[in-house]
Amino acid sequence: MISRSVFLSLLAGSLAIGIGRNGWGNSADWPVALGDPGQRHYSALSQVHTGNVRRLQMAWTFRSGDASPQNRSQIQCNPVIVEGVLYGTTPTLKLVALDAASGRELWRFDPFEGMKGNNAMGVNRGVVFWKNGDEKRILFTAGQALHAVDAVTGRRISGFGKDGQVDIREGLDRPVEEQFVLGNTPGALFQDLLILPTRVSEGPGPASPGHIRAFDVRTGKIVWTFRTIPHPGEYGYETWPPDAWKTAGGANCWAGMAVDETRGIVFVPTGSPAFDFWGGDRIGQNLFANCLLALDARTGKRLWHFQAVHHDLWDRDFPAPPTLVTVRHEGKNVDAVAQTTKSGHVYVFERETGRSLFPIEERPVPPSALMGESAWPTQPVPLKPPPFARQFLSEDIVTDRTPEARAAVFARWRQILAHQPWLPPSTNGSIVFPGFDGGAEWGGAGFDPASGWLYVNSNEMPWILQMVPTAAAGGEGNLGTPEQFYNAVCAACHGIDRKGELGRNIPPLINVGERLKEDDIVQLLATGRGTMPSFSFLAEPERRGLARLLLGIQEPAPDRSAPAVERHPEPPVSAALIRAPYGHTGYNRWTDPDGYPAIKPPWGTLAAIDLNRGEIAWQVPLGEVPELTAQGVPPTGTENYGGPVVTAGGLVFIAASKDERIRAFDARTGQVLWQAPLPAGGYATPSTYSVGGRQFVVIACGGGKLGTKSGDAYVAFALPSE
Inter-residue contact 662 to 655 (CB < 8 Å): yes
Q: Which pLDDT belongs to residue 304? A: 98
Longest Cα pair distance anywhere in the chain, in angstroms?
A: 94
Length of the chain counted residue by residue: 722
Distances in Å between the Cα of 479 and the Cα atoms of 20, 475, 577, 579 are 61, 9, 11, 12
Packed helices 482-489 and 540-551: angle between N→C axes, nearest 10 degrees: 90
Q: Which pLDDT belongs to residue 118? A: 61
**Secondary structure (DSSP) of 655-712:** --BTT-EEEEEETTT--EEEEEE-SS---S--EEEEETTEEEEEEEEEE-STTPPEEE
Model confidence, pTM: 0.89
Distances in Å between the Cα of 633 and the Cα atoms of 51, 267, 590, 630, 637 are 29, 42, 21, 7, 11
The answer for residues whose C-beta is within 8 angstroms of residue 565's C-beta and 6 or more apart is none
Task: Provide the CATH topology of domain 471-555+571-579.
Answer: Cytochrome Bc1 Complex; Chain D, domain 2 (1.10.760)
For residue 88, the cross-strand partners are: 96
CA distance 266 to 321: 11
Q: Which pLDDT belongs to residue 549? A: 87
CA distance 438 to 337: 20
Q: Which pLDDT belongs to residue 568? A: 35
**Which helix (H) or strand (E) is 323 found in, with range?**
strand 323-329
pLDDT, tens digit, 9 for 90 and up, residues 413-428:
999 988 999 999 999 9
Can you list the residues of the chain whose pLDDT is less than 50? 1-25, 473-479, 558-560, 562-577
Q: Which pLDDT belongs to residue 150? A: 98
For the chain, which residues make up each domain, given as ranges? Answer: 471-555+571-579
Inter-residue contact 156 to 148 (CB < 8 Å): yes
CA angle, 568 as apex, 563 and 573 as ends, to 5°?
A: 135
φ/ψ of 545, rounded to 5, equals -60, -40
CA distance 168 to 146: 6
Inter-residue contact 236 to 291 (CB < 8 Å): no
CA distance 314 to 290: 11
Distances in Å between the Cα of 313 and the Cα atoms of 261, 284, 417, 445, 465 are 35, 12, 16, 25, 11
Residue 82 CB coordination number (10 Å): 19
CA distance 267 to 262: 13
Q: Which of 393, 395, 396 is nearest to 423 (CA)?
A: 393
